[in-house]
């Protein structure tokens, strides 16, 4: 069976499973919010996702489109070693989805200014890490199912396009393991260049389009104008970590301090606790710099940062583009009011926290002799 035919049956099964999970997510959401199941209409919570906005507004259409994207990725990167699903992978899928779902539910309480339900989620590092460590299939499951669980527990309902986007966010960095070889180093630099160009465009968009029409109120707002300098800072930090990854520990310490200050200013106990736990782990690894060098080589850091950034860009560009059809957003509303608020902070968290998780995992793995 060649690489073009082999993934078709698993994708069909995957679409069925995802549809069932969407329904179950709707049930959880209905129980959480007390909404009548009739109003949920098979687990999908808003009219756009029920197909009322036309053919390209239906959630099933975008589920199939998402499957096609996954199929293309598989064909392009069809090394079977990285797509295998055994007992270990199934366990990690369940663990990753549970962790991402529960922590996403917690962090959904910290919104980011956007035209939709976007939250501050340092936990995006979880599906990205599971993808890098255990393969693209594990990363996809952890991201997609975890997001379904987290949104349902929050009472936000089920948004298939964004669930698929979170899956892509874990799947694409999972391909990085295929490029953890010296022979393919040039590919990482090319991918970094593509990511840098996209982030640079994200810096310019709020300047060129300072007025965003809110899709629900119909009023123009300038609250997204300040995203240009935020994206500029994120671009600089990402570039530093990709080009000179040896400064990762310093940048990680600064981000930890910034998150702690933000938590204190906003009175968020969750951010404060998360920042303190993160500080302990950063300090522990920093005091064991030889261990960091052993478990997290500079090239590993570069690949994790670059592939994580690529995954986030593709994932949330997919979701924002889909919302042009699903929710009737304009290009400016979708990409300035939704893509940038979602992709920007997540890029920063991924670049800092995924190497942290990877280093800790490699150290634990080394001690266990595996």
183 token code pair: 């022979």
Name the residue with higher pLDDT: 367 or 225: 225
High-pLDDT (> 70) share of the chain, %: 79
If you average pLDDT over residues 95-111, what whole number do you get? 93
The predicted structure's pLDDT at residue 3: 67
Residue 257 has pLDDT above 50, yes or no: yes
**CB contact at 8 A, 24 and 68:** no
pLDDT band at 9 (very low <50, low <70, confident <90, very high): confident
**CB contact at 8 A, 28 and 152:** yes
If you average pLDDT over residues 56-67, what whole number do you get? 67
The predicted structure's pLDDT at residue 345: 93
If you average pLDDT over residues 257-267, what whole number do you get? 88
Mean pLDDT lowest among 32-36, 260-264, 312-316, 354-358: 32-36
The predicted structure's pLDDT at residue 100: 96
CA distance 113 to 135: 33
The predicted structure's pLDDT at residue 347: 95
User: Where does residue 293 fall: left (phi above 0), alpha (psi -120 to 50 degrees), or beta otherwise?
Assistant: alpha
The predicted structure's pLDDT at residue 220: 82
pLDDT band at 105 (very low <50, low <70, confident <90, very high): very high
Query: In 3D, which of 116, 162, 163, 157 has the Cα closest to residue 33?
Result: 157
Name the residue with higher pLDDT: 93 or 36: 93
Q: What is the pTM of this model?
A: 0.84
Name the residue with higher pLDDT: 52 or 362: 362
The predicted structure's pLDDT at residue 41: 40
If you average pLDDT over residues 120-127, what whole number do you get? 93
Looking at the chain, which runs of residues are DSSP E strands?
Answer: 212-213, 220-221
SS3 (DSSP) at 332 = helix
Q: For the chain, give me the number of helices (H) and strands (E)?
A: 15, 2
Residue 118 has pLDDT above 80, yes or no: yes
The predicted structure's pLDDT at residue 50: 39
Measured CA to CA in angstroms, residue 90 lies from 58, 80, 94, 208, 332 at distances of: 30, 16, 6, 46, 40
If you average pLDDT over residues 7-14, what whole number do you get? 71
């Amino acid at each position: 069976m060649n690489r073009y035919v082999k993934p078709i049956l698993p994708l069909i099964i995957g679409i069925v499973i995802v549809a069932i999970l969407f329904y179950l997510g709707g049930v959880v959401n209905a129980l959480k919010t007390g909404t009548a199941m009739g109003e949920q209409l098979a687990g999908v919570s808003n009219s756009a996702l029920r197909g009322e906005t036309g053919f390209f507004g239906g959630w099933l259409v975008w589920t199939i489109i998402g499957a096609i994207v996954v199929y293309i990725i598989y064909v392009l990167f069809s090394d079977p070693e990285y797509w295998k699903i055994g007992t270990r992978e199934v366990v990690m899928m369940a663990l990753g989805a549970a962790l991402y779902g529960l922590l996403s539910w917690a962090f959904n309480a910290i919104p980011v200014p956007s035209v939709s339900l976007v939250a501050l989620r340092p936990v995006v590092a979880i599906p990205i890490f599971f993808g890098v460590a255990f393969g693209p299939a594990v990363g996809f499951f952890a991201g997609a199912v975890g997001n379904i669980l987290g949104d349902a527990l929050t009472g936000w309902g089920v948004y298939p396009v964004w669930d698929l986007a979170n899956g892509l966010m874990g799947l694409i960095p999972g391909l990085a393991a295929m490029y953890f070889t010296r022979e393919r180093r040039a590919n990482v630099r090319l991918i970094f260049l593509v990511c840098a160009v996209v982030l640079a465009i994200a810096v310019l968009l709020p300047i060129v389009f300072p007025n965003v029409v809110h899709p629900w109120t119909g009023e123009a707002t300038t609250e997204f104008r300040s995203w240009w300098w935020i994206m500029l800072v994120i671009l600089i930090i990402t570039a530093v970590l990709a080009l000179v990854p040896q400064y990762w520990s310093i940048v990680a310490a600064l981000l930890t301090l910034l998150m702690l200050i933000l938590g204190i200013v906003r009175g968020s106990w969750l951010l404060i606790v998360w920042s303190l736990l993160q500080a302990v782990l950063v300090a522990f690894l920093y005091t064991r710099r030889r261990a960091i060098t052993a478990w997290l080589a500079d090239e590993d850091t570069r690949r994790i940062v670059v592939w994580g950034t690529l995954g986030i860009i593709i994932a949330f560009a997919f979701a924002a583009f889909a919302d042009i059809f699903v929710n009737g957003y304009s290009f400016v509303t979708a990409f300035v009011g939704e893509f940038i608020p979602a992709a920007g902070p997540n890029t920063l968290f991924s670049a800092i926290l995924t190497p942290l998780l990877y280093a800790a995992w490699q150290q634990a793995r080394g001690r266990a002799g595996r």
